[in-house]
Chains A and B, each alone.
Chain A
Amino acid sequence: MNVLSFETVDSLRKSHPAWRLLCSDHAPLTVSFLHQTFIAPNLRSIAEAALTEALEDMLFALRERLGEAPFPRSAREYLNDWAAPEKGWLRKYYREGSDEPFFDLSPAAERAIAWLASLETRSFVGTESRLLTLFELLRQMAEGMESNAQMRVAELRKRRDALDAEISQALEGNVPVLDATALRDRFQQFAQTARELLADFREVEQNFRTLDRRVRERITLWEGGKAALLEEILGERDAISDSDQGRSFHAFWDFLMSSRRQEELTERLEKILGHPAINATHPDPRLRRIHYDWLDAGEHTQRTVADLSKQLRRFLDDRAWLENRRIIDLLRKIEAKALSVREIQPSGGFTEIDTPAATIELPFERPLFKPAFKPNLTDKVLAGTGENIDAAALFSQEVVDRAALAQHIRQHLQDRSQITLRELVENRPLHHGLAELVAYLDLGSGSFRAAVDEATQDSVSWKTVDAQGQILHKTARLPRVIFVR
């Protein structure tokens, strides 16, 4: 295994983006920024404007502390530099339907950042759990390879006997519980593997892209006839999904996609993260929703695969393929000839090309002269009338507690399937008068279902206290409003 021969490591140091990231001068800035914007919130693509702003904020804070010298350039320059092929830490691309470029973290950079995160010393390095997992994997492989039905049945029976023994033990009350250390050990392995899984998605996507490129290269350099090429490519059906990468990914996706498993994951995660022994290790709160993160990342990858397959099929399209070959030939000849006439270029018209638009004159589409509208801005000062009006009326606001009203409606709808607005008001008199009535109506059109009976009129009355302390009775007449469950 020549994995780490001198030449390999030397070339890694010179060309691998992950190594370059670790050695770069601005590594603290780059790593902390990329972790904060891509890895922590688990985002796959961020628009240029948003990313530039985030970097500006970080640079601003750093410049306050460390002065102008360490980071002299602008945020956009840094981003473009990081996305350049020489660095290769960010991928810059354009999406359909938007003129703005988007950025995504490259898998190499993600690996470097994950490695840095793992450097933090662990107080406890679990071993039991990993050994058990290894045994389980070996068992799966051995059983899976066994095609003889008898042997399989024998294995399954052995397992069933062990389970039966456990059941009888449990029935007697002997329930062996995992102690805190064993729990922590397993949880540590779970956290580690879950994070690695999430980090691997970018690499999965990159692998798909590489596969696609390789197929396209093969197509472009194909010397033989189209039929033979098609046979070769289509003989493998879909070259991308049928690769190792594709199959493993699809198996993963199918497994994760069942809602039953999702619920199972959520329940178990809740239970485990609530256990005191686990809580004491201060687990990463993101672990609670790790399966949703997997779904997000997996979905993104699925979309990429679908896009790649579609484009590949288009690329294989008949006319496009033949024409591309011919065009590249022609262009080579044209370039050579153009270079030879470089100094004595022809002037005037050289070629003609069709336009896709008909020459249509639309003389009546021209607008006629309209004198320009000049708005007259005068500098007048409005003179006040000099009266003293009590401005308190502007500031006194009725604050209506919508939550209390909603609660009131819900309580009543528990017993009955319908209730009219009038009954609601009778049961709970209006404290804030008309404002409260309007709040009821608003709730009826929003959070609750309400039917309005135009034919019948209801009258709703309430009492208010005016400025002098007199009690006034007010009544409103409105069509019957019925709140429905």
Chain B
Amino acid sequence: MINNERDLQTAADAPELSLVVIPLLKGVVYQESDPTLWSHLLKLQPQVRDYVRVLDLDLALDEAEGYAFLRSREAESEENETPRQPRLMARRQLSFPVSLLLALLRKKLAEFDAGGGETRLILTQHEIVELLRVFLPSHTNDARLVDQIETYLNKTVEMGFLRKLKPPTGSSQPSPTFEVRRIIKAFVDAHWLADLENRLEEYRRYAESSSETRDDE
């Protein structure tokens, strides 16, 4: 009897479950872009978690911020001899300037939150260029610097951390504006930044030691 009820329950949930799991596999689900999907997700949280566990995934849901996504589960213990499955959620390689850009955007967001009032952090391209400029080698060609930074910005938009705002209608093109999406808090977190700091430290030491050996020669 009980089994029948449970089967009925899961059968009834099934259409909504697929409605929820498919967008999650394809990317981040935002409350503001699809409120009905979000309410389904909140209702079916335990079922979703059970379902994606099969794929070695975990559901990360932040109700206050209004986003949800899947992340690969870390192996629980290293002694486990079962071979690691290939990752479903890929890892992207980022170049140094892009990593730095992400860190600086996260800093801007943290400062913005501490300042209070608004929830949406919007920066013009000019502001982002100024933010990044001091960390990049000085170029005599300013336009080339801006072009380079534009490529980094596009990469960040591709990853979903920045959103380009539609330019206002019927105006001469002012510089494009970007919204820093709050999902950046979930990915560029203290753990990732600590990792970035370590790598920077390693690289710095390596660069210093190699320049010393060069000087000696």
Contacts and interface: CB of A to CB of B under 8 A. Distances in A.
Interface of A: 48-49, 52, 76, 93-94, 96-97, 99-101, 209, 212-213, 215-217, 219-220, 308, 311-312, 314-315, 317, 320, 323-324, 326-328, 330-331, 333-335, 337-360
A51 to B, nearest CB: 11
B32 A356 contact: no
B96 to A, nearest CB: 4
Contacts of A330: 190, 193-194, 197
Contact of B27 (A212, A314, A357): A357
A338 B190 contact: no
B19 interface: no
A334 B200 contact: yes
Contacts of A335: 107, 135
Given A323-B190, A358-B88, A338 B117 contact: no
Contact of A356 (B69, B103, B122, B207): B69
Interface residues of B, number: 71
A358 B89 contact: yes
Contacts of B201: 337
Contact of B135 (A342, A351, A358): A342
B116 A216 contact: yes
A351 B197 contact: no
Q: Would you call the interface of chain B mostly helix, strand, loop, or mixed?
A: mixed
Interface stretch (B7-15, B36-44, B75-83, B162-170): B162-170
A212 B95 contact: no
Contact of B99 (A94, A217, A351): A351
B116 A351 contact: no
Interface in B150-173: 159-160, 165-166, 168-171
A311 B182 CA distance: 14
B107 A353 contact: no
B197 A353 contact: no
A76 B114 CA distance: 30
Nearest to A333: B197
Given A212-B116, A343-B137, A351 B204 contact: no
A356 B71 contact: yes
B71 A354 contact: yes
B6 interface: no
Nearest to B107: A331
B94 A352 contact: yes
B207 A341 contact: yes
Contact of B95 (A328, A334, A350, A359): A350
B100 interface: yes
B119 A96 contact: yes
B11 to A, nearest CB: 26
A319 to B, nearest CB: 9
B196 interface: yes
B93 A334 contact: no
Contacts of B93: 349-352
A52 to B, nearest CB: 8
A188 B204 CA distance: 74
Nearest to A326: B190
- The CB with the most chain A CB atoms within 10 A, among B65, B95, B170, is that of B95
B84 interface: no
B116 A213 contact: yes
A96 B31 CA distance: 12
A317 B193 contact: no
Given A328-B107, A355-B159, A209 B113 contact: no
A355 B134 contact: no
27 contacts: A94-B118, A97-B32, A99-B179, A101-B122, A209-B116, A212-B117, A216-B113, A219-B114, A317-B64, A324-B113, A326-B190, A327-B189, A328-B107, A331-B107, A331-B193, A334-B193, A335-B135, A341-B200, A352-B91, A352-B93, A353-B94, A354-B71, A355-B92, A357-B25, A357-B27, A359-B88, A360-B26
Nearest to A308: B117
A431 to B, nearest CB: 49
A323 B65 CA distance: 15
Interface in B180-208: 183, 185, 187-190, 192-197, 199-201, 203-204, 207
A116 B67 CA distance: 49
A355 B114 contact: no
A94 B193 contact: no
Contacts of B100: 334, 338
Nearest to B164: A99
- The CB with the most chain B CB atoms within 10 A, among A324, A333, A356, A360, is that of A356
Given A342-B136, A350-B94, A324 B26 contact: no
A311 B137 contact: no
Nearest to A330: B193
A220 B114 contact: yes
The 6 A-B pairs at the shortest CB distance, nearest first, are namely A349-B93, A356-B69, A216-B116, A350-B96, A357-B27, A99-B165
A213 B115 contact: yes
Contacts of A213: 115-117
Nearest to A76: B171
Given A97-B32, A324-B114, A334-B196, A358 B94 contact: no
A350 B101 CA distance: 13
Contact of B168 (A48, A97, A326): A48
A341 B88 contact: no
Nearest to A323: B190
Contacts of B211: 344
Given A315-B113, A334-B100, A351-B192, 7 more contacts: A213-B116, A330-B197, A335-B107, A350-B94, A351-B196, A351-B199, A353-B94
